Every structure is written in structure tokens, then in C-alpha cells.
Amino acid sequence: MRTRRWILKLAAGLLGLAALTTSTASGQSAAAGKSGCAIRGGIEACFTSPPTVTADPTVLGRASTLFDAAGPGDTIRVAMFRWDIKPPTDALIAAQRRGAVVYLVGDDDLRLNRHGRRLIETIEQQDPDRTNVTICDGACLPWRAPGPYPDSQDVQHLKFYLTEIGGVQSFITSSANLEDRQYRQYNSFLKIDDPGLYAFGLDYFARLEAQSVKAGGTRWDDRRKTWSNGTITASVYPNRSDLLLTTLRDLSCPRGSRVSAMFAVIQRDDVRRQLARLSDAGCRVRIVTSRDTVENWLESPQPTGDIPDALVRTVLTHDKMLVAHAGFRGKVSDVVVTGTSNTTCGGLLYNDEVMVRVVGNRWLHDQYLAHFDDAYAHARQGTTRVMPVMKPCLA
């Protein structure tokens, strides 16, 4: 009887997911700049639009529907920085109760609220034969800089899922923590069904759990922290090499090129200079960030160029994404880069992070461009003249 109830619940959950995604399978909802999810060719993208949907649940709710679909024989791995809301807590606990194997890697922040504590305690109690939870002391993996770490860094900053549900192996990254304030911020969610990328994610997850780059018998240097196959590349951090920076360096600006970047925080001068270079080279560069002071810093002229002040704006965003239609390694391409890392020294050298790049996928480009355009349309010019001082990263 319990199995039958689970099957009925799973069917209902899948029907609910179908209702969420079928209407956007062609990308129409996302292309209109509204909230929603869209799927094509084993890739799913979800976006929030808080100005148009009050307390937009799309991205946070997608975690819950993901967990709702899991049962006996399935496995869910989650690495999360902050978790303080009830729906995904209930959904993950229920998935484990139905027979799914659940693993969690968390930052110590999870212990600071009742939902995080309940999650940790319950998934350990429900499966006493294995270690289900790892709480890291600062970042799980060793720094790639000499230290000391910057303020509020040295954290497990991931919003990262690995799932094997119904035989489908998925690598998932999001900009959103599972926390209440994320309902009111721009966020995105990217799910890629790919066994090779999933295997790379498993290797990373095992090292997070072991809190060592030596896990599994092979020591990871920075070269092993990047996986690439065809149009998809993924990088994990701490890492002296940066997927975002190398992508920007590989971009050029044939006529009609555009580069749009939305990051909650941009504090790295190497990234700022590349964006200014592209603007000077003829790309239409637009930027959305979450802080007026960062906006001022990005608007200041650089040796490599000057981004027009009117094209740099501020909005309440937690996103981390770059979308470009430009020259990429000599060929005009559509490029998307997204993941968990802000462009900070901590996000590069001190925190656990993941970033993904997809090249040549026009459909996915259009989803992220619509998301950016929505945020840009609701953004504003900064109201302060304060200019912050950004320290260089010490690699």
C-alpha cells in the first residue's frame, strides 16, 4: 500500500512538473522575460522574475519538484551554502523516506536555523547505515591562495545538485540558496542531463565529502578541476584558473556582438578590464549588479576601455551569469556561463564553487538573454557616488 501511495504521489508530481514545463518547452515563457522553466535537448533552464511574480517560487520550487520525483533506486546529492526554508526540507526528507539515497554537503551556516538543523538530523536518523551529511569547516577543499581569506569568504558556497532519478544522470547548478530571501531576488537554475558531466560532478562531490583533493586515490590539481566535452565545459573551485575569465578573454567583437553580465557582486579587476576591453572593441556590453558601489566601480574608465555608465545598472539580483553573442575563438557563437561564483577573490581562490559554460546553443542563449533583459529593464542607475577600493586577488 505504501508503494502504491508513492507511485500515485510520483505521478502527481510528474504531472505538476509537466504543467510547469510543457507550456515553456519552446522557450516562449522564458523568451518573454517572465519566470518559468524550459527544457530542450536534455537541458533545462529556470528563472525568477520577482518584479513580475511576487515572491517568485520558480527556482526554489524546482528543487522541491526535483526531490518529489525521487524514490527507490534513485540518488540525490546536494551541496548547499544556505538552507532555511521548509518546502525543500520536507521534500528531501520525504524522498529519502520513500527509498532514495540522499547525501548532503553543507556549510556550517545550515546549523544556524531550524530547517537546516532538522534536515541534517533527520536524513542521518532515517539512514543510519551510511554517513549522509558532511558539514565543512569553512570551504571543504583547500584554498588556492596563501591567505588570509577575504571577509565573509572561505565558505562552501555551492548551490549544486547531482541526481540520478529514473536512470537519468543530471548535473545541476543554481545561483539560489534554499533560503527565504531568494524568493525576492533574480535567480536562475540550470540542469544538464549528461553522464560524463555527472561523473565529473561525482568526483568533485566525493572530494567535498572527504574535504581533501586526495580522495579517490588521485590528487586533483587545477587542471583536473575542469571537464569539457563538445559544447559544454564545467569548472570547480577553489581554482587559480577561472572559466569566466578565460571565456571573456576568448571573446571578440564582430559587428552586432553583445555581451550581457549579471552578477550579484563583481570585485575582480581582471574581469572588469575584460568587460571594458570588449566594450572598447565594439561589443555592446551591459552589466547588472546588486550594489550601487559596485556599479560605480564598473563604470570607472579602465586602461582597456570604458563601459558607458548608462549600460551599467543595479537591481536586486543574486544571479551569476554571462550571456554573449560574439566572436568566440574566432567564430561567432552563442555563449552562456553560469554557476555559483560571484566574481570575487573568494569565489575564485577560497570558496567551493562550480561554473558551467555552454557554447553554440542558441536556444539556451535566448533563455538567458531574456532573463537578463528582464532584470535590465527593471534595474536602475545607482544613487550613491561612493567608490569602493577592491584589493587584488593573491594567488
Domain range annotation of the chain: 39-231, 243-378
Query: Beta-strand (E) ranges in 50-100?
Result: 75-80
Provide the mean pLDDT of the chain.
Answer: 92
DSSP 392: P
Sign of CA pseudo-dihedral 104, 192, 353, 261: negative
DSSP 167: T
Using the predicted structure, report yes or no on whether residue 133 has a pLDDT greater than 80.
Answer: yes
- Predicted local confidence at residue 33, as pLDDT: 61
Is 226 in contact with 234 (CB distance < 8 Å)? Answer: yes
Query: Average pLDDT in the 111-117 region?
Result: 96
**Fold (topology level) of 243-378:** Endonuclease; Chain A (3.30.870)
- Predicted local confidence at residue 339, as pLDDT: 98
Query: Average pLDDT in the 141-150 region?
Result: 93
- Crossing angle of the two packed helices 58-68 and 2-22, in degrees rounded to 10: 150
Give the pLDDT confidence of 66-78 residue by residue, as tens digits.
999 999 999 999 9
Q: Which helix (H) or strand (E) segment is 192 a member of?
A: strand 188-193
- Predicted local confidence at residue 21, as pLDDT: 40
Give the pLDDT confidence of 328-380 residue by residue, as tens digits.
999 999 999 999 999 999 999 999 999 999 999 999 999 999 999 999 999 99
Q: What band does 218 get if pLDDT is binned at 50, 70 and 90?
A: confident
Give the pLDDT confidence of 302-342 residue by residue, as tens digits.
999 999 999 999 999 999 999 999 999 999 999 999 999 99
User: How far apart are alpha carbons 26 and 45 in whole angstroms?
Assistant: 12
Using the predicted structure, report yes or no on whether residue 216 has a pLDDT greater than 80.
Answer: no
User: How far apart are alpha carbons 379 and 179 in whole angstroms?
Assistant: 23
**Fold (topology level) of 39-231:** Endonuclease; Chain A (3.30.870)
- Predicted local confidence at residue 391, as pLDDT: 87
Using the predicted structure, report yes or no on whether residue 235 has a pLDDT greater than 60.
Answer: yes
**CA–CA–CA angle 89, 95, 98 (5° rounding):** 140
Domains 39-231 and 243-378 share a fold: yes
Give the pLDDT confidence of 7-35 residue by residue, as tens digits.
434 443 443 443 344 334 334 444 456 79
User: Which residues are CB-contacts of 67 (< 8 A; sequence separation ≥ 6)?
Assistant: 76, 88, 91, 92, 94, 95
Among candidate residues 150, 161, 154, the one with its CA nearest the CA of residue 193: 161
Task: Give the other-Cβ count within 10 Å of 383's Cβ.
Answer: 8
> Above pLDDT 70, what percent of the chain?
92
Strands 101-107 and 133-136: parallel
**219 vs 374, more confident:** 374
Specify the pTM: 0.92
User: Which residues are CB-contacts of 5 (< 8 A; sequence separation ≥ 6)?
Assistant: none
Listed range (7-21, 99-113, 231-245, 268-282) with the worst mean pLDDT:
7-21
